Amino acid sequence: MNQPRPQRTVRVLVDGLGDRVFDYALPEGVEVQRGSRVEVPLRNRRTTGTVVALREIGNGEQLKDIALKTITRVLEDESAISPSLMDLAEWAAEYYSTPVEQMLRCVVPESVRSEKHEPKTRKVVRLIRRPSEEELNKMCARAPRQAATMRTLIATEANCTALSELGGGRMLDVCRALEKRGFVNLESESVYRDPAGEEDFALTQPLSLNDEQKVALHSILEAFEAGDSKPLLLQGVTGSGKTEVYLQAAAAAVSRGRGVLILVPEISLTPQTMARFKGRFADKPGLVAILHSAMSDGERYDEWHAIHRGRARIVIGPRSALFAPIVNLGLIIVDEEHDSSYKQESAPRYHGRDLAVLRARLEGAAVVLGSATPSLESIYNAKRGKYRLVRMEHRVDGQRLPLTRVLDMRSEPKDKRLMGLISNRLEQAIAQRLQRGEQCILFLNRRGFARALQCSDCGHIATCEHCSLPLTYHITENRLICHICGYRAVVPAECPECHGRELKLQGSGTQKVEELLKRTFPGARIQRVDADVTTRKNALRDILEAFRSHRIDVLLGTQMISKGLDFPLVTLVGVLNADLGLSLPDPRAAEKTFQLLTQVAGRAGRGDVEGEVVIQTYNPQAAAIQYARRHDTDGFAENELGLRERFAFPPFSHLAVLTVRSVREDVASFAINTLYKRLKTLLPPGAEISEPLQAPIVKAYGQYRYQCVLKAPRARIFSQIVAEQIARLSPGEDVTVTLDVDAYSFM
């Protein structure tokens, strides 16, 4: 008598349905694994999904009631997800309380997932009718993403751009809607993809390391050989030669047949790191893969497969590169590990550095976190022995760190000419550099011309209709612009409240300083760099190139130019207003200010001439500023950790922000209060929830925002409970609820 054969079944997470899983039978002779991509029948269509579990139902146990459908086919192996990446995605989904499916979308990008073979064409969006300003503002209220797309198109050359430049597949619906309304055409354009990139890189040889570098490299290779995933915190001052250590560690890993992942804050902001890797391995074309956010679907498809097949062994990219399918991964390097761009600010809200540490553990890889100003989380982990600390305290060129002066702007005479923006001391310093043919970098973390337009009679401030923030005046367009949603308004002739005619511009931005500098130094070549100048592709690269070849004397910019740049002729760095970040409602405000100032100061004096840094401030005594003046990272960390411990702030706890958004204020307020009341009674001991409040940015994109902050020794204590309560709230269409675990933004 025939024993019924054991039946093999698979559980499939179907694409595009959140966390819904379905069971299917596996036909005879078909092999799959966890992570395999399959095609399955669902209702009366076929769709794709990922195998998340396998089961065998055998002997005796019967599948009586369920007549399982059978999977229709296994998609090519090429797109299968490795078991450790499956684990990473599942772990992250639980920790950040986000659907697994959403994490898997990071692991297998859309262009690979849809299995549309080798898309040698790309979608291009062309503007065919330019909306009036009035239409645009209306659109901004009803369909902010459509409005943003229109603005990008209006601003780009030839009014035409690739869909990938606008945000890729997720913007397709938005563009289709615009096409229907007659504003744009969607076209297909064929592209030639050169995986090696457009540039040639000259081969560089490894440098002979100094003692500190040798120790650092040795520690990394020791961990690498042992498959020890205990993170190494490489704390090395700017210019101590960390990148050279990374290059040699990567070369060693590759020569032993292992893959390497290098995370950087953002490729366009750190072009030199990328160029140095390309140069060092220039004799092995295709070995280094660069991933970045501005890639077209086709480029992404090519790079993904080159990595998956093991052709590209070294992968460099921003946080999303964390999920690259690197074969036999042996080494992960997180450069500038303190950088807040590692935290994704839209769903899934993961932290790239933290997941890198986890991925290393899952794959038995060594992991290096490098920075001149490590995050307090990492410093604390090193103090309590979870990370191993390696220091590099000297600059390679033997240079001392630049001389740093803090200028108290309160006692600076309010000179009409320089408007209290540039002190006399800084003015003289700039003049001196110009005379000597050296270069300067000036920082101001605010773009636009003036922060706000205020009525001198009644004090009314022009505010965005959709967001609760003042509109910033932009002189180049002579418009008031919202820095959140992009809304534009004409500058009014009189105050809309009291009809007063004296409207004053308050608070200066980069455009204002640019004007001032050009007036003060008429002969100097001055270039502004901020989000407004760099909308065009490659604009930033071209500017940096011009600065490097000394076709620019003074570079004036936002924090955009504070990272990883190395210009030997820069001998002066000026920070125009060091206070801008200090007053933000953010537990990391002091840390971020300290890091920014220290990083910025590291840009001065890398050649033969000693550098000078001038920090202008209205809070000269602030700890962040004083410790930055002395380049004292340890002192700052000690002081700040003391404060954080007292208030049980991170790293002594984990914070999460629960935000409710709605166009109706009463609805948002009701929803947050409901959540708050339920959570208050449900949270286990150790977890706290703050009373609901309006978010610091009360309204954005026309939606009111309310939030609570959760705090606990470990995020896992609350994340599942909160997720359940969000699900149970089943809010209407007009409410969105999000939970941001380990939040970096509290606005």
Chain residues that interact with Zn ion, rule: CB under 5 A: 464, 466-467, 482, 484-485, 487
- Answer whether the bond into residue 651 is a cis peptide, omega within 30°: yes
Question: Can you tell me whether residue 596 is helix, strand or coil?
Answer: helix
Among 238, 248, 508, 725, the residue binding ligand ADP under the rule CB under 6 A is 238
Determine the residue type at 108.
V
- Residue 243 in the binding site for ligand ADP (CB under 6 A): yes
What are the beta bridge partners of residue 310?
none
- Residue 209 in the binding site for ligand ADP (CB under 6 A): yes
Q: How many residues bind ligand ADP (CB under 6 A)?
A: 15
- Residue 599 in the binding site for ligand ADP (CB under 6 A): no
Applying the rule CB under 6 A, the residues between 379 and 408 that interact with ligand ADP are 396
Quick one: 164 or 378, whose CB is closer to ligand ADP? Answer: 378
Reported as type and span, the H/E element at residue 144 is helix 144-155
Among 72, 102, 210, 690, the residue binding ligand ADP under the rule CB under 6 A is 210
In whole angstroms, the minimum distance from the beta carbon of 702 to Zn ion comes to 8
In terms of Cα–Cα distance, which of 730, 142, 20 is closest to 487?
142
Quick one: 439 or 719, whose CB is closer to ligand ADP? Answer: 439
In whole angstroms, the minimum distance from the beta carbon of 482 to Zn ion comes to 3
In whole angstroms, the minimum distance from the beta carbon of 741 to ligand ADP comes to 31
Quick one: 215 or 698, whose CB is closer to Zn ion? Answer: 698
- Residue 514 in the binding site for ligand ADP (CB under 6 A): no
CA 248/CA 254 separation, integer angstroms = 10
Per partner kind, with CB cut-offs from 5 to 8 A, the member of ligand ADP, Zn ion, none near residue 63 is none
- Residue 239 in the binding site for ligand ADP (CB under 6 A): yes
Quick one: 168 or 241, whose CB is closer to ligand ADP? Answer: 241
Quick one: 269 or 467, whose CB is closer to Zn ion? Answer: 467
In whole angstroms, the minimum distance from the beta carbon of 328 to Zn ion comes to 48
* CB atoms closer than 10 angstroms to residue 137: 16
User: Which tokens belong to 9?
Assistant: 């079944």
Applying the rule CB under 6 A, the residues between 211 and 230 that interact with ligand ADP are 213
Reported as type and span, the H/E element at residue 135 is helix 133-142
Q: Measured in whole angstroms, how far is the alpha carbon of residue 222 from the centre of its chain?
A: 31
CA dihedral 411, 414, 415, 421 (to 10 degrees): 90
Determine the residue type at 556.
L
Applying the rule CB under 6 A, the residues between 550 and 569 that interact with ligand ADP are 566
- Residue 633 in the binding site for ligand ADP (CB under 6 A): no
Among 8, 37, 123, 242, the residue binding ligand ADP under the rule CB under 6 A is 242
In terms of Cα–Cα distance, which of 741, 230, 318, 358 is closest to 564?
318
In terms of Cα–Cα distance, which of 583, 580, 619 is closest to 406?
619
What are the beta bridge partners of residue 441?
555, 573
- Residue 373 in the binding site for ligand ADP (CB under 6 A): no
Among 168, 236, 298, 692, the residue binding ligand ADP under the rule CB under 6 A is 236
In whole angstroms, the minimum distance from the beta carbon of 140 to Zn ion comes to 7
Q: Measured in whole angstroms, how far is the alpha carbon of residue 481 from the centre of its chain?
A: 23
Q: Which stretch binds ligand ADP (CB under 6 A): 83-91, 126-134, 237-245, 545-553?
A: 237-245
Quick one: 103 or 464, whose CB is closer to Zn ion? Answer: 464
Per partner kind, with CB cut-offs from 5 to 8 A, the member of ligand ADP, Zn ion, none near residue 132 is none
User: Which tokens belong to 359?
Assistant: 């991925």
User: Under a CB-based contact definition with an 8 Å cutoff, are residues 140 and 464 in contact?
Assistant: no
Determine the residue type at 266.
E
* CB atoms closer than 10 angstroms to residue 459: 11
Q: What angle do CA 735, 587, 236 make, to 5 degrees?
A: 125
CA dihedral sign, ordered 689, 694, 696, 697: positive
- Residue 595 in the binding site for ligand ADP (CB under 6 A): no
CA 395/CA 373 separation, integer angstroms = 15
Per partner kind, with CB cut-offs from 5 to 8 A, the member of Zn ion, ligand ADP, none near residue 484 is Zn ion
Quick one: 105 or 603, whose CB is closer to ligand ADP? Answer: 603
Quick one: 89 or 462, whose CB is closer to Zn ion? Answer: 462
User: Under a CB-based contact definition with an 8 Å cutoff, are residues 721 and 683 in contact?
Assistant: yes
Widest distance between CA atoms in the chain: 102
Quick one: 112 or 250, whose CB is closer to ligand ADP? Answer: 250
Q: Which stretch binds ligand ADP (CB under 6 A): 133-141, 203-211, 349-357, 591-599?
A: 203-211
Among 66, 207, 539, 648, the residue binding ligand ADP under the rule CB under 6 A is 207
Quick one: 40 or 368, whose CB is closer to ligand ADP? Answer: 368
Quick one: 175 or 250, whose CB is closer to ligand ADP? Answer: 250
Per partner kind, with CB cut-offs from 5 to 8 A, the member of Zn ion, ligand ADP, none near residue 482 is Zn ion
- Answer whether the bond into residue 348 is a cis peptide, omega within 30°: yes
User: Under a CB-based contact definition with an 8 Å cutoff, are residues 554 and 525 in contact?
Assistant: yes
Residues near ligand ADP (CB under 6 A) are 207-210, 213, 236, 238-244, 396, 566
